[in-house]
Amino acid sequence: MLPVGRKVVVSSIAPDPLAAIEQASLVAMPAPDPAQLSPRDVIIAIASASVGWVDLLMMSGQYQHAAKPPYTPGLEYAGTIAWAGADAAIAVGERVLVDPFLAGPRSLGSYQGSGGFATYAVAPIEAVHRIPGALTFDEACNLLGNYETAYHCLVTRGRVQAGETVLVHGASGSVGLAAVHIAKLLGATVIATGRSRAKLELVAAQGADHIVTTDTPLRDSIKALTGGRGVDVVYDGVGGDLSVESLRCVRFGARYLIVGWAATPFVTRTQANVLPTNLIMMKGLDVLGCPTAISTAHDPSSRAPRLEQILAWAGAGKIHPLVSRRYALTEFADALRAKWHGETVGGIVLHPAG
């Protein structure tokens, strides 16, 4: 018999992320009852849950996919198997990470309410992967969402080749840092941008070849770093003015990857980002929208090779998601606020058991 735990509950969608954090509550959580579960289900005792930007968007209705309240946030989590159904071929005590497309708030079926900001979660066996290589729980819960996004954008959509130069905006963030790591694995040169030199120095220590703060004219810096030519690929997770400025930093025929818009998150109530068609046309650009989950829903066959490569890289020690801050579950509000205010480089995690 598993002991009573705790979970964070989102009871209604709030008007903005800071209000959403205030509205969320921490409540007691009876352990899931195996008698109510499918033989293909497992109960996971959660060790680490990633605190995601997308969690904040979802809690405030700014995300394309809405979990139905009441639900527990935490798109990605990792822990140990505490119970396994008769048809779930995995042993109690195994260290696992859970696929956010198949369980938790980002999934579409009946496991949507069971996120990682909790002592326990229930997931179907097909959502469970043994943690590859020497990854810690903290690293494991920052693997799939970030690196699948970076892979989908850079490899599937961007077709990045060794020797090319990739400009990564928001490089200190979770999907930005994953893009720095994957672009380097692909043999590209990486120019990382951000608002804070101190954060960018950490990004350089993570592999970026050049760092550029966005408080100076970007075009001059990028042209100087590329011998006047411009970059081959832009990975844009920031949006706003930076997107438009980026179009002046590219070579003719470059690929421009629209990854996200961290600088303009309120898409339901403000004008969406707008790109000038004259620059796109005169530079012969390929502008590519890169919604990983939506693209995967349209073409499920795109997932297996991506997942296989990321788990293989992680297993071989070539990918180490950076986790900069750790919080107890009782501090979930502080953790979410730190994410919203961009206080860290890479990931933030909650420790439900700590």
Ligand X SMILES: NC(=O)c1ccc[n+]([C@@H]2O[C@H](COP(=O)([O-])OP(=O)(O)OC[C@H]3O[C@@H](n4cnc5c(N)ncnc54)[C@H](OP(=O)(O)O)[C@@H]3O)[C@@H](O)[C@H]2O)c1
Binding site for ligand X (CB under 6 A): 52-54, 57, 149, 170, 172-176, 194-196, 199, 237-238, 259-263, 290-292, 339, 342
Q: How far is the CB of 144 from ligand X (least distance, A)?
A: 11
32 or 321: CB nearest ligand X: 321
Element (H, E) at 83: strand 77-84
Give least dist CB 167 to ligand X, A: 14
Residue 136 or 196 having the CB closest to ligand X: 196
Measured from each CB, the residue nearest to ligand X is: 173
Residue among 119 and 146 whose Cβ is closer to ligand X = 146
CA-to-CA distance for 72 and 32, rounded, in angstroms?
A: 14
Give least dist CB 251 to ligand X, A: 23
Nearer to ligand X, 114 or 292 (CB): 292
Quote the DSSP letter at residue 78.
E
* Least distance between ligand X and beta carbon 201 (Å): 11
- Long-range CB pairs of 89-92 (<8 Å, 24+ gap) are 89/125, 90/42, 90/125, 90/128, 90/130
* Minimum separation from the CB atom of position 264 to ligand X (A): 8
Question: CA torsion sign, 223 to 227 to 232 to 233?
Answer: negative
Tell me whether residue 23 or residue 213 sits nearer to ligand X (CB atom).
213
- C-alpha separations of 225 from 164, 279, 287, 337 in Å: 13, 21, 23, 35
Nearest residue (CB) to ligand X, 261 versus 332: 261
**H/E element, 194:** strand 189-194
Residue 106 Cβ, how far from ligand X at the closest point, in Å?
10
Q: 271: how many CB neighbours lie within 10 A of its CB?
A: 8
Is the previous residue joined to 70 through a cis bond, with omega within 30 degrees of 0?
yes
Name the strand (E) or helix (H) holding 213. strand 210-213
- Cβ contacts of 73 within 8 Å, gap of 6 or more: 8, 10, 24, 55, 58, 59, 67, 105, 115, 116, 117
Phi/psi of residue 270, nearest 5 degrees = -125, 170
What minimum distance in Å lies between the beta carbon of 175 and ligand X?
4
* Beta carbon nearer to ligand X, 43 or 67: 67
